[in-house]
Every structure is written in structure tokens, then in C-alpha cells.
Chain A
């Protein structure tokens, strides 16, 4: 091949690569960044999708100190039979391609979760390379998913952020919500030894107003999104809500507690003493006793006394031990209540079945089929709690004890 032809060929190759026109290249102003997706079912039985799209100009403008008179997010709705059809139908209303890589939140309507279940929805999310595996899932409780997705919030410009952060903080400080992502939910849906639980979210207040800008303009927000309990699933369908103590108890069993407060009644006064958990560990073991499965749970918690509204003598070791014992009893009751509730629901949300599978695979093969309905509800669970009080804050005795002495 002489020089001339070689040069020609090279030039053609180079020209070819340049005229490729760049597939897959998308400029930022050609894409609609979706930050949250809401899924509902309407009366005709079709899926309704609500997409929360970020309006970058308004977000950035607000960040740089410009006025917040324009909403930082926009909502688009579409109906269809499956998730990708929603995507396609929504594109008729939006001037850009929807870009899901930053969709951190998926809200599922309560009715959809109760009636249809989750099994039909999640495949598109899991298979698509655009969607994140770490997307958080939340169930809309008492409202429709679209209500949550539409809400405008004051502090977090993008309300999806607010929902996610609220759930995370609640999980950390109270234990009444659980921050769970898509991958975990699917894992739990598939596993025969564990059922998923998903946090609930609702909008309190004037639910007609949450999508208006005035909602964010006053200091006392009229329509306020709130975390609301934990939803229990069985076979992919929502069957129960756990609130308050039951929720906290379940989280203790699941070892997902971080900095919870435990309240203790003392001498007739309700919740007079507050114990703040700093560190905890829940160890669960599965055994086979006399051919029957048995679960033993050991909890060990360490923490401080943070509030004492009764005149306790916190300098006395015996008092502290007494408090510890009472705390342990209280916690044990909470956890046992939660387990009983789960057994009533016939849904093994704690993963005891998985535990059996890991430690006694042969027996698990026999128990697997009827675990949820037969074996789990009759399961013997033994709970042992140890609490330790390490410190009492900056004071030892509460000032109340001195106050009473003065009176005497």
C-alpha cells in the first residue's frame, strides 16, 4: 500500500469518527432531572406516575440569594400500565428527556401497595442502568403518592431531599421509621425468610395547599410532610402499619436503632426518666430444640441519663442499677410486643427465617414452605436485654431533689 492510499484511508477513518454525531451525548439543558417518582393506582386500575422534576434555574437562583418566587420543582403526571409506559407518556408533556439517575426517592401509594403489591412495579427500576440501586422507597400513608411528590418545602429546595432526610433523622433519633433502599426491598421481597418493611410518609395539615408556593412562604407551614410509621408487607402487599412503640420495638429487633430515647415511668409519673442510647447491639441466634426452631435475642445497650424529672439520687449506684433493670424490662416488653404483632400479621419482618437458613440449612429446607403461615407465628422467641448507664450528663442529682429538700 503506497503512501498516498494510506493517507487517504486514514483521513476517511478520522472523518468517520468525527461525523459520528455523538450518540449518547446529552447536554444538561436537554435533560429533565427527575428527583422523585410517585406511583399510584387510579380508579380504572391504571398506574399513575407523578414525576418531580428539578428546575435548576430556580434552585440555583434561590441558592445565590435570588428571590424564591418560582417553584424549584415542577410536576408532571402520566398514566399507563407499566412503569416504562409512564415514562413514554410523560414525554408528551415535557420538552426534554427525563433523566432518572438522580431520582433518589420513589413514593408508592397506599392503595397500590395494599391491593396490587410491589411485585409488579420494581423490575424496570432494577433493570435500568439509569436508575440508582440506592433509591429510597417510601409509602404514602393516608394521602396519595402524588400529594407527597407535589409538596413544596421551605428549607430543602427539592422536597425529595426533605423526605429522605426526614426519614433518616427519624430512624436515627426515634426509631419510628426505616430508611430502606430499592435493592434491599427487592432482596427482602425475594427472600423466603424475610419480608420487607417500608416507612410511611404523609402530609399533615391543609392537604390542598401543599403544591402552592405560598406554602413555603410563611413560617408556620400549612401543609407539612411528616414521617408516619412503618408499613409491614406480606407477599409483596401492604398489610399493616406499625406505629409508636411497636415500630420502635421492631427496629430494636432489627438492630437498626442508633440514638433512640427510652422513657421510663417512675413513681407514678409518666415518662419521668429519659435514657439516651449511645450504642447498642442486637444479636440474634437460631437454634433447634426438640426438633422445633427457637430464636434467642440478646440486646446490649449503653447510654446516658438525659432527663430526670423526679428527685432521684443518681449518685447512688443502686439507684442506677434499679433504673437499668427497669429499662431492660421495658425494652424487653417493647420488643416482645413487636414480635407478637409481627406473628399476628404472619409476616416475618425480622428475618428469622433467613437466620435459620444460614445456621441450619437442612432443617430450613423442610420449614421453608410454611414458614410465614405456620411456623413463624408459633415461634418461640426468647428476649434478653442488658442496659448499661454510663454517664448522667453534666449534673448528678436532678435539681428537683434539692428543691424538695428545701421544702421539707
Chain B
């Protein structure tokens, strides 16, 4: 574990940027049509529940990383295996985001660049950052937080100034029934992006004031959920449901429609900026967590030396995972939530929590009141 110190505000910013990251890109809860924003809000509540599970685990082991307390709970041998599985999980997620990002770049801006080069350039920057430690990542995150919000505000203002918002497009809300909405929220949207907060179990120990963690976690999830819901609502109200579900990147289509004052048009490059900030932080967090976890599980003295190898692994996996963007999306919508997100984000942590509960009760420790 590093000797690092993160303040509450920095953690908030990091979680916020992480959640917004690649979720801005895709039509989140697109199948809910006009009620997409509602589904996101419902999923956010699901995210709260997951957060409480993780918070419970954190309270039992406030100074240990995920890979460490797993070994405490399950014993050394089994714990190491589970920790290693989690590391693979994080690497896979990092590769997915990298692939998302590279494909987007190639789709709308640079069709001829080989995907490998685009991804490699990005992962190099990520590795450079990760080697400097979590404090640098959070400080960079702070600066980027301001930048991202400025960009989002500007876009919002431009869209309003263009007069493109037609609130009527959001009607009828209940085209799909309420129960369907809840089902969609809890089986798909809650995992991406809200459930991915599990990676922060590797970062929570660095927080300097442990008591504020609950508030920070809830606030950051709430803010990012709200932002995503609003952005989705704007997407639907400007583009209309049909166009939104047919677009690979609704936010991009939205930005491409902006036409103000006769010369502010084709602002896709700013979308690129927005995308890169979010994607960068997300991949950085995943990579950092993978590197620290590996160093932890295999007792490596200098984690920064693992950064390059892990980075190359992520790069290669991002190329291998699918042969076309359609396959990538298909995998992400059908296979990943049920077979990968569900066990890693829900089942295993729940089991761990239950075991931890019993273990600590047996030891007679006065466990702090769980707030789940």
C-alpha cells in the first residue's frame, strides 16, 4: 500500500469523473426510450445499495485494500485466488473502456489509424500517470473536474441557445411500464456505471478522514447519477427517441447538431476532449488498482515497475476482446452484466460481508453499526 493521502473532496471528484467517464458515451438505458433518465435515477438507487455493501466491508477493514482483506476473510489461499480474480476483473474492465474509447475515436475522427496505435498512445499516457502514484492521479482529476464541468456547462448553454430542446419529445414517459423500468434498471444499468464503484475499495483506505466516506460516496454517486440522467434527458429531448436509439453515440450526435451564430458548428472535437478526460481517469483508476492489487498479491516491492507490463496486457486485451464494435457492444449488453458484473459486484461482496460479519462477531469485536 502506498503512503498516500487523499482528501474528501479529491475522492469525490475522482468518483464523479470515474462514473461519468464512459457512461457519457453510450446510450445508457436506451431501451427505456423516453424514460431513460428515469431508469438511470432508479439505477442510481441501486448503486446506493451496492455502495452500502462495500461500505460495510470497508468498515470492517478500514486500512486494508480489497486484495488484502479478502485474504483476511477467506484465508490466505482462497483469498489470494479471489483477489487475483478481482485483478483480472479490473484489467478486463480497463480493456473494455479502452476499446470503447479507441473505437469511438476511429469512428468519428480518425478512420485510418490502426486501433492498436490509438489505444497504445492512450495507454502510454495512462501508464506514465499511474507510475506516479494515486496522489498525482487525484490531483490531475481535480483539474480535469473543473475542465469537464466547464465543457458540459458550455454545451448545455449552447444547446439551449440553439433552441433545439423540445420537451415534448420526452412524452409519453410511461411507454414502457414501471415494472419494466425497474427491471431494466436493476439488471443492466446498475452495473454500468454505478456498480463499478467497487474498484474504489482499493482506494478508500487512502482517504484521510474515514468518517466522511459515507457522505462522500453517496454524494458523488448522486451527483454523477443526476448529471447522467440530465444528459440523457437532453439527448432524448433534442434528438427524439428514434434517433437516440439508433445512434452509436447519442451525445456526439447531439453535439454535431449544435449550430449557433453561424460559425459555432461541428464541435465534435470538444466532444473528443470530454471523452478523453472521462476515459483517461477511468482507465487510470482501473490500471492503478490492477497494479497495486498485483503488487499486493504477489508481494512486489516496487509497484511502479509493474505499471508497464500491466499496461501492455490491458492494451493487448483491448484489441483481442472483440473483432468489431458491434460485437463489443453485444458482449457488453448481453454477456457482461450477468456473467461478470453480477458475481463480482454483488455476489462475492455480499458473501464476503456475511462472512466478515460472522468472523468479527465471533472474535467479540464490537462491530460498528452497519448502515445497510
User: A interface vs B, CB < 8 Å?
Assistant: 17, 20, 23-24, 101, 129, 132-134, 183, 186-187, 190-191, 355, 357-359, 361
Contacts and interface: CB of A to CB of B under 8 A. Distances in A.
B172 A361 contact: yes
Contact of B113 (A23, A129, A186, A187): A23
Interface string B241-271: 0110000000001001101000001100000
A129 B107 contact: yes
Contact of A134 (B110, B239, B257): B257
Contacts of B266: 101, 132
Given A134-B259, A134-B265, A358-B168, A190 B242 contact: yes
B112 interface: yes
Contact of A132 (B174, B243, B256): B256
Contacts of B150: none
B78 to A, nearest CB: 34
Contacts of B108: 129
A358 B257 contact: no
B214 interface: no
A361 B171 CA distance: 9
Contacts of A187: 240, 242-243
Interface of B: 107-114, 117, 121, 168, 171-172, 174-175, 239-240, 242-243, 253, 256-257, 259, 265-266
Given A20-B117, A133-B256, A134-B265, A358 B171 contact: yes
Contact of B175 (A183, A186, A361): A361
Nearest to B110: A24
29 contacts: A17-B121, A23-B110, A23-B113, A24-B109, A24-B110, A24-B111, A24-B113, A101-B266, A129-B107, A129-B111, A132-B265, A132-B266, A133-B253, A133-B256, A133-B257, A134-B256, A134-B257, A134-B259, A134-B265, A183-B239, A183-B243, A187-B240, A187-B242, A190-B242, A191-B240, A357-B172, A358-B168, A358-B171, A361-B175
A133 to B, nearest CB: 5
A132 B174 CA distance: 33
Contacts of B265: 132, 134
A132 B239 CA distance: 15
A101 to B, nearest CB: 7
Contacts of A358: 168, 171-172
Contacts of B175: 361
Nearest to B112: A23
Given A24-B111, A134-B259, 11 more contacts: A24-B110, A24-B113, A101-B266, A129-B108, A132-B265, A133-B257, A187-B243, A191-B240, A358-B171, A358-B172, A361-B175
A297 to B, nearest CB: 15
Contacts of A359: 171-172
A300 B175 CA distance: 32
Contacts of B111: 24, 129
Contacts of B242: 187, 190-191
A243 to B, nearest CB: 28
Q: Which 10 A-B pairs have the closest CB atoms?
A: A23-B112, A358-B171, A361-B172, A129-B108, A24-B110, A24-B112, A23-B113, A133-B256, A134-B259, A190-B242
A102 B251 CA distance: 21
A129 B266 CA distance: 11
Contacts of A134: 256-257, 259, 265
B106 to A, nearest CB: 9
Contacts of B109: 24, 129
A103 B8 CA distance: 50
Contacts of A186: 243
Nearest to A188: B240
Contacts of B174: 361
A187 B237 CA distance: 13
A191 B242 CA distance: 8
Nearest to A354: B168
B161 to A, nearest CB: 15
Nearest to B256: A133
A183 B164 CA distance: 12
A1 B171 CA distance: 63
A190 B114 CA distance: 35
A60 B208 CA distance: 62
A69 B232 CA distance: 52
A176 to B, nearest CB: 22
A280 to B, nearest CB: 15
Contacts of B171: 358-359
Contacts of A132: 256, 265-266
Nearest to B265: A134
B360 to A, nearest CB: 45
A23 B106 CA distance: 11
| Residue picked from A17, A133, A359, most chain B C-beta under 10 Å | A133
B44 to A, nearest CB: 26
A116 B105 CA distance: 35
A134 B257 CA distance: 6
A352 to B, nearest CB: 13
Contacts of B259: 134
Which of A101, A187, A191 has most chain B Cβ within 10 Å?
A: A187
Contacts of B257: 133-134, 183
Contacts of A357: 172
A263 B127 CA distance: 71
Contacts of A190: 242
A131 B42 CA distance: 37
A183 B110 CA distance: 23
A187 B246 CA distance: 11
A42 B342 CA distance: 58
Contacts of B243: 183, 186-187
Nearest to A102: B266
Contacts of A361: 172, 174-175
A355 B169 CA distance: 10
B92 to A, nearest CB: 25
Contacts of A133: 253, 256-257
Nearest to A131: B256
B113 to A, nearest CB: 5
A134 B260 CA distance: 11
A358 B242 CA distance: 14
Nearest to B173: A361
A357 B175 CA distance: 10
